[in-house]
Amino acid sequence: MDQLTAHDPRRIGPFEVLGRLGAGGMGLVYLARSASGRRVAIKTVRGELAEDELFRVRFAREIAAAKTVGGFYTAAVVDADADARVPWLATAYIPAPSLEDLVEECGPLPVDATRWLIAGIAEALQSIHAAGLVHRDLKPSNVLVVEDGPKVIDFGIAAGVSSTRLTMTNVAVGTPAYMSPEQARDSRNVRGASDVFSLGSLMVFCATGHPPYRGSNPVETVFQLLREEPDFSGMPHELMDLVRACMRQSPEHRPTPAQIQAELAPHLFSRDDAAGEAGDWLPANALALIETKRRPQRPVPEPQPPHPAPHAPPYVPPQPEPDHRPRPHGGGRHAGQGEGHGPVHTPGPMTEDGIPTSKIPSPGRRPAPAGAGEVQLSGVNVRIGPGPRAEHEQTGPDSAPAETDWVRHPTQAPAPAPVPTPPPAPAARWRPWRFRMSNDVWGTPVVAGGTLFVSSFEVHALDIASGERRYKTRDVAWALAVDSGRVHAADGPHLFTVDVADGAERWRSSLDGWVYSLSAADGVLCCGVRGGGVQLRSAVTGAELWRADDAQQDYENPQAGPVLVAGAAYYHGAGRLRCVDPRGAGLRWSVAVGEDVPSHPVERGGVLYVTAGTRVYALDAATGAERWRFEAPVVMFTPPALDADTVYVADYLGTVYALDAVTGRERWRALTGSRQGAEPVVVGDGMVLVGSGEVLYAFEAAGGRERWRYTARGEIVGVPAVADGLVHLGSRDHSLHTLDLASGQLRWELGTKGELTGSPVAVGGRVFVGSKDRCVYALDAYYGTAVPVR
């Protein structure tokens, strides 16, 4: 639980506010207590929602319905006020770990434990549906686990089945990894069967430790949900029939919660020694975590800095000593981690269990002496340590760059090969840094004006030079674009713009739909709105310049949404690619390209190149006249990549085509493994790179000869970044790999504690990447986390 700030209320209705539990999609969540001492969790509503009368009507109906929800496995609604200046909803506070915490800390659950939890959640859904509600956001963090079973919480974004007409058109509310396909397409048609699909997704998480869909960002996850089969890897065969039934694509073919309970009952009541409590089903470490969370949690006061002497260095709060005991996350479901305020320096390397590695002697190695700056693992040429520290720096003329715990270097020296010339050191010594967020990081970072912009619910602006946060927005940002000194973002139905320099809000505007894609250029914003909408707006004032409603697609995602390219706006709908004047003058031209959703166009020298299905088109950018087309045998999801005179594309099965940019004639083709992503081919320094599964292939641009291939330990994530003779690529092995472009040899590797998000970004001799360990990393492109010697 976090301390209250000066801006937080001290009382909400009849309740005394004790502290912050966290933030949800609708607003802040507080821990409070009644006059009799009863503790409650109070969810408040964000200001812009509170000003929406339609929202207040819907919220009042949800409150009335939620109060009727009974049952053993739900958290009771205690009180609420939809008419308050800031509407709020109070539910019984349950000091217990969420299912997310339980599985992440204790590992996947046994089959019997999974059945016990799923049966309880199914009973909770019966109670919710009987009250005329659909939960809409059933996910691991919305299920608490106590001694006598699971408790389903958070009906704040549920909507009455009888009042779904009040739901904003095509707004998909929920968590992509656990929502149903019909919810992702159009939330107006969501019924109770949608929660059953989410229940199946929970079953996958319980039994395997991972969700059924694992995109690098929410948009990619929705793309997988609509196009691909769930990831059932590690799923016990005893549960496969039930989970497949729950996750059927057709809602009418899914079982009801009552049928799920009937299916599980024989397994739960066949044991004579089972009394139905956690001790009968959960492993010992899970029971210990539940007991830990039952202990009362109090806000921890922040350490106060001493009075500094004149010219003293800034005060840095002391770091806690690592502890391998179970660490409570704060009371209840909404507890969060502290947010970083600059470079994070951990107190030392630790194992996954939180035990300092310096306290574990390796075979054949004596423990490191006290105060040693790094630890050498037995048999592995990998340095690990606490981060960039002064004791690692060497200033002699032949000294090597200082190393940190983040980077792994090859255990053997690579064969002689041309290596890139290291970029010149900046005028002032720059240190690699990492910044830890309170919430998940997603998407690809954006670099502009010496600032790194990162999406972690809000947009965070981090100073590249120091790693300090300059500011963050006050709203969620599901879509983000930076242009001409402005940061533009959409929290769904609202657009807002802040100044790059200081985060001051310039304007905000409400749209009549959910913004799923956002593009900015030359003072214009291009918005893709769910349900086939396109809107062009002024980036300066937010005023609407032009709109259309004929951009309906089967799969609405940013990779194929409306976009601004070279002074024009382009969008696809009803089998046609349309070009629109960005200043509001209307349609310029329209060309039939088929029903297959095309990629974003790429323009070069007045020619527009676009892929659509199995075809590559070259169109005159001014008139839309077709100059040539190329027909491939297999569908292509990726946009073209260009060099001076060649167009490169890759199909679904991994074949790379090099086409003459003037005639469309095939120059060469090369084969890789099967690839299913929408990432384009990367071209740079005479090389053509394409990822396929875990392998990155490099071909000569001139003739297509394969130069090298590099195999990571997991599937490649996002688009590799090529700059200064280096290739930076992310992998689902939780690592960033940096290779020599000419030879494919590994130069260094960054290991994180989560999958990388989006794509790495290489700018000015530095590389930036986000990770699902809630950290953003900034590294020296050539040396990794080492500090270059001047």
pLDDT of 8-30, one tens digit each?
A: 888 998 999 988 887 665 678 88
- Check pLDDT > 90 for residue 662: yes
Residue 499 has pLDDT above 80, yes or no: yes
pLDDT (0 to 100) of residue 539: 94
For residues 152-156, average pLDDT: 69
Output the pLDDT for position 743: 94
Cβ 689 vs Cβ 727: under 8 Å = yes
Model pLDDT, residue 782: 93
What pLDDT shows up at residue 355? 30
- Number of Cβ within 10 Å of residue 699's Cβ equals 24
Residues paired with 711 in a beta bridge: 695
User: Of the ranges 23-32, 270-279, 282-291, 497-506, which one carries the lowest mean pLDDT score?
Assistant: 270-279
Fold assignment, 11-294: Transferase(Phosphotransferase); domain 1 (1.10.510)
pLDDT bucket at 346, cuts 50 / 70 / 90: very low
Q: Which residues in 522-654 belong to E strands, given as ranges?
A: 524-529, 533-538, 544-548, 563-565, 568-573, 576-581, 586-592, 602-604, 607-612, 615-620, 626-631, 641-642, 646-650
For residue 44, the Cα-to-chain-centroid distance in whole angstroms is 24
Higher pLDDT, 354 or 606: 606
Give yes or no for a contact between 316 and 11, defined as CB atoms under 8 angstroms apart: no
Report d(CA 671, CA 654) in Å as an integer: 6
Torsion on CA atoms 90, 92, 95, 98, rounded to nearest 10? -80
Residue 762's alpha-carbon distances to 331, 445, 480, 767, in angstroms, are: 40, 10, 19, 4
Q: Please, what is the angle between helix 111-130 and helix 237-246, to 10°? A: 20
* 436 φ, ψ (degrees, to nearest 5): -100, 130
pLDDT at 357 exceeding the cut of 80: no
Domain with CATH 1.10.510.10 in the chain: 11-294
How far is 36 from 685, CA to CA, in rounded Å? 71
- pLDDT on residue 398: 35
> Angle at CA 260, nearest 5°, toward 259 and 262?
65
Better pLDDT: 419 or 672: 672
- What stretches of 382-528 show up as alpha helix (H) in DSSP? none
The residues, ordered by sequence, that sit 6+ positions from 685 with a Cβ below 8 Å of its Cβ are 722, 725, 741
Q: Is 571 helix (H, G, I), strand (E, B) or coil?
A: strand
CA atoms of 303 and 468, how far apart (whole Å): 20
> Nearest 5 degrees, angle CA 33-CA 36-CA 38?
40
pLDDT tens string 198-257: 999 999 999 999 999 987 667 778 878 888 889 999 999 999 999 999 999 989 999 999
Q: Which pair of tokens denotes residue 586?
A: 């209307």
Please give the C-alpha separations between residue 733 and each of 597, 755, 767, in angstroms, as whole numbers: 31, 7, 18
Q: How many H helices and E strands in the chain?
A: 10, 49
Half-sphere exposure of 119 (CA within 13 A, CB side): 22
Residue 655 has pLDDT above 80, yes or no: yes
Query: How does the average pLDDT of the chain come out, rounded?
Result: 78
Confidence at residue 7, expressed as pLDDT on a 0 to 100 scale:
74
Q: Which of 173-177, 502-506, 550-554, 589-593 has the lowest mean pLDDT?
A: 173-177
Of 532-546, 650-664, 776-790, the least confident: 776-790
Task: Locate CATH 2.130.10.10 in the chain.
Answer: 433-679
* Structure confidence at residue 677 as a pLDDT band (50, 70, 90): low
Does the pLDDT value for residue 259 go beyond 80?
A: yes
H or E segment at 199?
Answer: helix 192-208
Both tokens of 162, joined, read: 């009888």
CATH code for residues 433-679 = 2.130.10.10
φ, ψ for residue 253 (rounded to 5)? -95, 0
Place of tokens 């839309």: 624
pLDDT score of 578: 95
Which tens digits make up the pLDDT trace of 710-765? Answer: 999 988 988 999 999 999 999 989 999 999 999 999 999 999 988 898 899 999 99
Smallest CA-to-CA distance from 460 within 484, 489, 494 is with 489
Mean pLDDT of 445-449: 92
Contact in structure between 593 and 576 (CB atoms under 8 Å): yes
Residue 76 predicted with pLDDT over 50: yes
pLDDT value at residue 1:
63
> Please, which pLDDT band fits residue 629 given cuts at 50, 70 and 90?
very high
What average pLDDT does the segment 480-501 reach? 92
**Which stretch, 77-91, 331-345, 566-580, has highest mean pLDDT?**
566-580
Which candidate in 8, 79, 101, 137 is catalytic?
Answer: 137
Helix ranges (DSSP H) in 131-157: none
- Active-site residue flag, 137: yes
CB neighbours (10 Å) of residue 366?
A: 7
Which comes out higher in pLDDT, residue 295 or 195?
195
The pLDDT-based confidence of 412 (bands split at 50, 70, 90) is very low
Residue 425 has pLDDT above 80, yes or no: no
Q: Which stretch, 353-357, 414-418, 687-691, has highest mean pLDDT?
A: 687-691
pLDDT score of 118 more than 50 = yes
Q: Tell whether the model's pLDDT for residue 559 goes beyond 90.
A: no
Q: What percent of the chain has pLDDT over 90?
A: 41
Predicted confidence (pLDDT) at residue 81 exceeds the cutoff of 90? no
**Three-state DSSP state, 492:** coil
pLDDT for the residue 354: 33
State the Cα–Cα distance between residues 490 and 347, nearest whole angstrom.
Answer: 38
